[in-house]
Structure 1
């Protein structure tokens, strides 16, 4: 969740860090921030809810 999950954050060059989650599986919603602000997380959840209601996931 947040930028660290998609980029590796401050540990991105570490030997045990994989590339971003979006390179390993489908990501429906990107939530900015590392860690994301509560407002960004809430917005992401609302966007995910909309996708589920539309059947667009």
Structure 2
């Protein structure tokens, strides 16, 4: 998830936009170590991960 937050900061993406870009961009998937078809967290899951104690 840390790599996802790096992408979010670099590209100025909201949680929803980050989830969408991970699903749509093969470069993001490769950076995150995902293969096409792997499950991607939705915006709510990304938000909960960031806000956890």
- Give the shorter-chain TM-score range: under 0.3
Larger Rg: 1
TM-score (norm 1): 0.25
TM-score (norm 2): 0.26
